[in-house]
Amino acid sequence: MYDLKPILKPVHVELPTCMYPMKPVIQHGVAMADQSSTVFMDLLSEKIKILLLKEDLPEIQALAVKQEKILKQLAELREQLVSMRTDLKVCNKPAQPSAQTAPAKTGAKSKPQTTKVEPINASYLQDFVVNASPENIPYGLLALKKLWIDRLNLQVECFTHSTIPKLNEEAVHFQNQITSFEPKLENLPRILVTLIWKNVGTYTEMITSPTAYVPICGEVNILRFLSRCGPSEFNYERNDDVAEVDSILDTCYQLINKQNVKDKKQVLKTLSSKLGKTPSFGGSDVSLCDIAATSAIKQVQKALAKDINPNVAKLIGRVSAVVGF
């Protein structure tokens, strides 16, 4: 390679004479390390030479005899295995999974697996606060409240922050629905959700502790939290298609929180391609992906009404009919 001129010019520094001089520690350490490594390599080379010169030692001969004996035993064992395989008429090729026994590929669009219904652990249930904008209504709360009606009482109380002068008609309708719908069964496990209409924009936030203000941002992440502490049959993380479900939920999160309409259209296109021609993401039952996608599309429906394809519109209609959006 070509040479470069020194960037820093040597600077003469006058050392003080009021202190005693010391030898450079780094250079001395490097020299010692080089010296010790050289000595070690010399000793190792001498030992190797000694071993090579003494090939006729009894120890080496005994080791060679033992090696030959082991190789002979391995050859006999191989012959026995070949003979057994011939007698049993075993195919040499590895077993291929049949169409009946081969595990099918799972995905968010496949039929949901049957999850064992387990009692709800009350120690996981914790009351929390949700701050949401009336322009971005968290429809997922209403969906889970109705789907969990026989398993968990998701009790919701609504309040309005001073940053919101007046609620729109859609928010009032949602509030009336979620507060008037109560379970018929008694003694159900309960989570108290305090919904506060507040000017937080698209970033719906959930607060579990008033002292430690560490919010969980995004309706999709709130749904994730509730799916883990709620009824076991609604916990998507117990299935094999967790990665695909998380990908769909992340796409729903981006659809709500993208600020540019052009970016929202691109995300909606991605979500539509994930749905494909299937009627829903979760098969015959309403899944968490169906709820998150329907809620996200309803929040951006005004801006992207012309970009919603017929199959996505059918999904919204189907979920709305089941959970009563």
Fold agreement (122-234, 239-323): yes
Mean pLDDT, range 173-191, rounded to an integer: 85
Q: What share of the chain has pLDDT > 70, as a percent?
A: 81
pLDDT reading at 134 higher than 80 = yes
- Per domain, the residue ranges of the chain are 122-234, 239-323
pLDDT of residue 102: 40
Residue 307 neighbours by CB under 8 Å, 6+ apart:
265, 268, 269
pLDDT of residue 31: 52
pLDDT of residue 194: 92
Quote the CA–CA distance of 115 and 275 in Å, as a whole number.
Answer: 23
Tens digit of pLDDT for each residue in 82-104?
877 776 655 555 544 444 434 33
Higher pLDDT, 18 or 50: 18
pLDDT reading at 252 higher than 60 = yes
- Give the model's confidence band at 107: pLDDT under 50 very low, under 70 low, under 90 confident, else very high: very low
- CATH code for the domain defined by 239-323: 1.20.1050.10
Query: What's the distance, CA 167 to chain centroid?
Result: 36
Query: What's the distance, CA 245 to chain centroid?
Result: 10
Fold of 122-234: Glutathione S-transferase Yfyf (Class Pi); Chain A, domain 2 (1.20.1050)
- Give the model's confidence band at 293: pLDDT under 50 very low, under 70 low, under 90 confident, else very high: very high
